[in-house]
Chains A and B, each alone.
Chain A
Amino acid sequence: MEYFLEILFGGLTRGSIYALIALGYTMVYGIIELINFAHGEIYMIGAFTGLIIAGVLGAAGFPAAAIFVLAILGAVLYSAAYGYTIEKIAYKPLRGAQRLSPLISAIGMSIFLQNYVMLAQTSDFLPFPSLIPEFKVPWIGHIISSSELIIVVVTILVCIGLTLFIKFTRLGKAMRATAQNRKMAMLVGINVNTVISATFVVGSSLAAVGGVLIASHIGQINYYIGFIAGIKAFTAAVLGGIGSVPGAMLGALILGQTEAFATGYVSSDYEDVFAFALLVLILIFRPAGIMGKEPVQKV
């Protein structure tokens, strides 16, 4: 039982990180039908920003909790600026071009950012300090660490906050309207450029939160972490139904649990096998993903 719970919480932690990244994929796809391949790199840049901020503030003698919060805030700001800029440079000029063009641009952006960070920083793994405050978790302390608990709690809060934002704020409503019918959104007076920029900013911010949390949990980063995490999170988004925000949350949860149980009860060698087998199965039986809409046949 205890072993089962341990795996369950491990899966929840994994799923949380996937969710924080998958939300950016799915939101951008929902608005402009683009798979933003550079999104994993935004997550990686968030982690590097967190590392740099933690280093500076640590040397300056800031208390641990302050470093944790400021590292996340700084990473959010920096990654958001990157997300905003990438859209302006790499995607906006290609709006209205053939579908493949922005996709290729996204892959190019991803490779560029990886290499840029590798050259500017290092190609080696860098140790990442444990920023998440450590304490003994009451009652379930023997099965879940404080950092796992905080990752899960932060992710739940972020998901609730995002859902409320999309449902009730003016900008959130504009995002939904733009995702459902861009032409009509323009006709009611929504500035679609602003909505697209905001979508990149929000998605990048969430990825940055994930970047700092997971780097702190695992304890090391390099320029390549965005690629792996990005593919997994993208899988989660497709699993849940790309374009659907609750779908990305659910897809991430399922993927995290699948991997955790495959690792825990079979072998960690099979983690990816199970993850992608699950994806293939879902795509065979529900091509649009769990919560995705079947594409409407337009006459």
Chain B
Amino acid sequence: MTKMLELKNVNTFYGNIQALYDVSLHIDHSEIITLIGANGAGKSTTLMTICGMLTPRTGDVIYENESIRGQSADKVVASGISQVPEGRLIFPELTIKENLDMGAFLRTDKAGIARDMEYCFDLFPILAERRNQQGGNLSGGEQQMLAIARALMARPRLLLLDEPSMGLAPLVVRQIFEIIKKINKESGTTIFLVEQNANLALKIGHRGYVMENGKIVLTDSCETLLANEDVKRAYLGL
């Protein structure tokens, strides 16, 4: 496996407030990598730094052997990185179909877009049924599905997911995690999964990172992390 994305000693600030301290991590092609940590640890900040929404004050973000540090968000999306953000951020007054169209905003291959939309509708049949309804009328679980499908419409090579389980019933969460695995298996899409639900995330991930107060404090294979006493105590409630 080869490196797809690497964060090198990244320090990200909000104004004068530092949120990430010397964060280094890497993601290999076709992996599912999980990042777990408590609320406020800096997980979303890490994703926003990758996406070009935030520029690290020092350190570098390397994607496919090139620095993308300081690139604007649209350039990053165009290069194959899509995010399913925390809270889903559905466009509430656009229909489901229009939400999916927005996911493909930078693409011009009409036939490919139509094919990918069919793929998304196969993945989430409920979205196909309700394609002409407004996004804001969907339930939380359906919105999460729409957010994932919208990100897939950009045809990403790296898919970033920010707490997809947040606020959803256990059954729906399991369904969504199955789909995430399926996306990784079927199309080889690399996945960076950020979660507070550490138990599930560590079960589907290959490797994991643990973040506390803006720092990476632990990294290992997910199996090993699941068995780690500190992780068990802090994140698995055991």
Interface residues of A (CB under 8 A from B): 170, 173-174, 176-177, 180-181, 183-191
Contacts and interface: CB of A to CB of B under 8 A. Distances in A.
A57 B154 CA distance: 51
B98 interface: yes
Contact of B98 (A173, A185, A187, A190): A173
Contacts of B51: 187
A26 B217 CA distance: 49
A188 B78 CA distance: 9
Contacts of A184: 85, 89-91
Contact of B77 (A170, A180, A188): A188
Contact of B89 (A173, A183, A189, A191): A183
B236 to A, nearest CB: 27
B70 to A, nearest CB: 15
Contact of A183 (B85, B92, B101): B85
Interface stretch (B16-24, B102-110, B121-129): B102-110
Nearest to A187: B83
Contact of B73 (A174, A180, A186): A186
7 A-B pairs with least C-beta separation: A189-B77, A184-B89, A189-B74, A189-B106, A186-B73, A180-B91, A188-B105
A185 B53 CA distance: 11
Contacts of A170: 105
B105 A189 contact: yes
Contacts of B73: 186-187, 189
A176 B134 CA distance: 13
Contact of A187 (B53, B78, B92, B94): B53
B178 interface: no
B64 interface: no
Q: Name A's interface SS.
A: helix
Contacts, number: 61
Interface-central residue, A170, A174, A184, A187, by most chain B CB under 10 Å: A187
Given A177-B105, A180-B91, 18 more contacts: A173-B101, A173-B102, A176-B93, A180-B93, A181-B90, A181-B91, A183-B53, A184-B85, A184-B90, A184-B91, A186-B53, A187-B73, A188-B82, A188-B106, A188-B150, A189-B77, A189-B78, A190-B74
A174 B73 CA distance: 15
B72 interface: yes
A264 B89 CA distance: 49
B91 A187 contact: no
Given A183-B53, A188-B103, A189-B73, A177 B83 contact: no
A177 B102 CA distance: 8
A187 B105 contact: no
In this complex, the member of A176, A183, A184, A185 whose beta carbon has the largest number of chain B beta carbons within 10 angstroms is: A184
A183 B85 CA distance: 10
Contacts of A189: 73-74, 77-78, 105-106, 154
Interface in B104-139: 105-106
Nearest to B92: A180
Nearest to A180: B91
Contacts of A186: 53, 73-74
Contact of B105 (A174, A180, A181, A183): A174
B226 to A, nearest CB: 31
Interface in B36-91: 51, 53, 72-74, 77-78, 82-83, 85, 89-91
B164 to A, nearest CB: 15
10 contacts: A173-B98, A173-B101, A176-B91, A180-B93, A180-B94, A184-B85, A187-B73, A188-B103, A188-B105, A188-B106
Nearest to A298: B87
Contacts of B101: 173
Contacts of B91: 176-177, 180-181, 184
Contact of B85 (A173, A176, A187, A190): A187
A34 to B, nearest CB: 20
B74 A181 contact: no
